[in-house]
Amino acid sequence: MRNRKFVTVLTLSAFFAFAGGLSGCGDDDGGNSLPLSEVESRYTEAMCNKLMECPDNWMMGVMITNTQECIDVMTMMGGEMGEMFGYFTEAVQDGRADYDGEMGRKCLDAIESTTCDAFFNNPDGPEECETTFTGLLADGESCRADIECAGGWCDTRSACPGECAALVAENGSCEDGEQCEWGLSCVDGVCVPSPGPLAEGEECDFDGPECAYGLFCDEQGSGECTPWKGEGEECNWDEECERDKACLETGCTTVTVLNQVGDNCDPENEARVCDFFSGLVCQFGVGEGGAQFTECVEAAGEGEECFDSENMLVTPCDMRDRLYCDFQDTATCLPKKAGGEECNDHEECISGWCDMDGMCASVESDECY
């Protein structure tokens, strides 16, 4: 199947109206066109409604318990998403893509009404979203996103930026599912209709079709789609467990979210986690036996101590403020670094990538969508 994940399609769909308004077309407050003023709120609400309906892990429904909390988190952590929106804005403004406001509304409506299976198991997203953007770049021209290409596909498999190419029709030759037209998968080198999600008991593997929502692929056991596991059942990773549980050494364990300073926490052994969206973190000691978790405390802010070397105690930095703990020099929380700044670890960089030369990668220049 194509590699684009459904969450990316949601991001694209939110931007459809955003880009259209800036480009001067489709910015109609009436009719069936999605107006610019509704874009960000409609996108965020649609995505959060769906995540509340179809949680993918214990973060949704346990840590985040309602649509408004989800919206707050999405807004708080929207920096990378905003960078993607910015790139798509430029694509329309610079004449690399056209936008259809009516299809933008239909795309969002389709996302809101999609099933849990389609939400997670259809990497192409709703068909309505495929015709919202029309790329204007010819095959062979430089690109960073599918929406720029008249042929429908930006080939970034070996490099970013990539090159525009034409999507492959049914029964055409392919090397990767991303090359195939909407609704097609690359199977044995040929673009063929994508199968639906697999049912319980059907054979599966990590490279094939996904199991239906509520099932996981038991590749290390039966090799079949199997229902999520309950409390105490043996597991290998969180994806095997019911959505309110994490996979620990003791098996699938219901997650408990702690929201008071001083609460005893232990995310690794008891699934007792501090509510980090509210600014709480689990303080821990560092020793020969690994991390020794203590209690929930206020997250360290910029310039505050995050590593007490005398007591070998770590207070994680506030995740909401794009900070990292400078263990090597100041032992305090510092702002994450932009592209081109020197680094020693991926955690130091806004982009999340410290390259082989010890420099933070630039999100803006190194990202393809």
In tens, the pLDDT along 188-204 reads 899 999 888 899 999 99
Question: Of 30-34, 156-160, 188-192, 323-327, which gets the smallest average pLDDT?
Answer: 30-34
Least reliable range by pLDDT among 36-40, 71-75, 296-300, 311-315: 36-40
pLDDT of 285 strictly over 70: yes
Greater pLDDT, 329 or 367: 329
The confidence band for 25, taking pLDDT boundaries of 50, 70 and 90, is: very low
Average pLDDT of the chain? 84
Q: Which residue has the tokens 């990292």?
A: 324
Query: Cα–Cα distances in Å, from 279 out to 168, 320, 321, 322?
Result: 48, 8, 10, 13
Ordered alpha helix ranges (H), the chain:
6-23, 39-53, 67-76, 79-93, 101-113, 116-121, 363-366
Phi, psi dihedral angles at 348 (to 5 degrees): -80, -15
Query: 230: how many CB neighbours lie within 10 A of its CB?
Result: 12
Q: What predicted TM-score, i.e. pTM, was given to this entire model? A: 0.73
The strand pair at 272-274 and 256-258 is best described as parallel
C-alpha span between 131 and 352 (Å, rounded): 32
Helix (H, G, I), strand (E, B) or coil at 180: strand
Higher-confidence position of 77 and 361: 361
What average pLDDT does range 135-155 have in this prediction?
Answer: 95
Mean pLDDT value across residues 216-241: 94
Does residue 23 register a pLDDT over 50?
Answer: no
Per-residue pLDDT at 39: 64
Looking at the predicted structure, is the pLDDT value of residue 334 above 60?
A: yes
Please give the average per-residue pLDDT across 177-185, as a whole number. Answer: 87
Residue 252: pLDDT over 50: yes
In this predicted structure, the answer to whether residue 24 has a pLDDT above a threshold of 60 is: no
Cα dist. 254→61, 63, 73, 228, 277 in Å? 12, 12, 22, 13, 19
Q: Measured between alpha carbons, how far is 359 from 369 in angstroms, rounded to an integer?
A: 22
Query: Does 214 score more than 60 pLDDT?
Result: yes
pLDDT in tens, 164-179: 999 999 999 998 778 9
Question: pLDDT band at residue 352, thresholds of 50, 70 and 90?
Answer: confident
